[in-house]
């Protein structure tokens, strides 16, 4: 579906020759001399790279319609992750490459919003934070109370994060899915 650069909106997804891009911001500029143009900042949906592009006013671009489906992660089947559509109960096998970083935060029973374009998964929306159980960490040493001291901890999904010294094996911790940082004990 072709859309004019005059009709761009933040969050709109475009199918450009370089790949799928989301409009982060745009600015319509009408200089005193010459034709109007639209300055945009675009983010690659797959890689996350941000580029700046300038288009003539009223130039046509191809809009990509992204299908978003609420899915529940059921279990791992070898290298694949099995999801169930929460409305139709249809199951879908997804490769770990398609999930990218999101696979580090998924545990059985979690909900995620899978974004698909032409049958291919192009993105995953997770909650801002998830609760994960610490499976392995060194015990905090008595008397080692340096302000802000941290130690490595492995959580149930295999992700290694830095946690405060008082966190022990078996504790539930809240992890920020955007940065991968420890937030608090749950």
Give the residue from 81, 154, 156, 135 showing the smallest Cα distance to 112. 81
Looking at residue 52, its pLDDT comes to 92
CA distances from 133 to 92, 104, 110, 167, 175 (A): 26, 13, 14, 11, 10
The rounded radius of gyration (Å) of the Cα atoms in the chain is 22
pLDDT, tens digit, 9 for 90 and up, residues 89-116: 888 888 888 887 888 888 888 888 888 8
Q: Is 112 exposed, middle or buried (0-12, 13-18, 19+ CB in 10 A)?
A: buried
What is the set of domains in the chain, with CATH numbers? 2-62 (2.30.30.30), 67-125 (2.40.50.140), 129-185 (2.40.50.140)
Determine contact, residues 87/70, Cβ cutoff 8 Å: yes
The answer to whether residue 143 scores a pLDDT higher than 70 is no
pLDDT given at position 39: 92
* pTM higher than the cut 0.85: no
CA proximity to 155, closest of 118, 86, 106: 106
- How many residues can be counted in the chain? 186
pLDDT tens-digit readout, 33-83: 888 899 999 988 877 789 999 998 888 988 888 888 889 989 888 888 899
* For the chain, counts of helices (H) and of strands (E): 1, 16
What distance lies between CA 158 and its chain's CA centroid? 18
């Amino acid at each position: 579906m072709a859309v004019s650069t005059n009709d761009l909106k933040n969050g709109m997804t475009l199918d450009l020759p370089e790949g799928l891009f989301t409009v982060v911001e745009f600015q319509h500029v009408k200089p005193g001399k010459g034709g109007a143009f639209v300055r945009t900042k675009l983010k690659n949906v797959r890689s996350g790279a941000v580029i700046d592009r300038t288009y003539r006013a009223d130039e046509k671009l191809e809009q990509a319609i992204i299908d978003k489906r609420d899915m529940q992660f059921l279990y791992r089947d070898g290298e694949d992750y099995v999801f169930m559509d929460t409305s139709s109960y249809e199951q879908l096998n997804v490769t770990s490459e398609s999930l990218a970083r999101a696979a580090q935060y998924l545990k059985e029973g979690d909900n995620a919003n899978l974004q698909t374009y032409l049958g291919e998964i192009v993105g995953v929306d997770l909650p801002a934070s998830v609760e994960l159980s610490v499976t392995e960490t060194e015990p905090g040493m008595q008397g080692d109370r340096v302000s802000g001291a941290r130690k490595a901890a492995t959580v149930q999904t295999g992700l290694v994060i830095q946690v405060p010294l008082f966190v022990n094996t078996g504790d539930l911790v809240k992890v920020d899915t955007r940065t991968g940082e420890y937030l608090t004990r749950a």
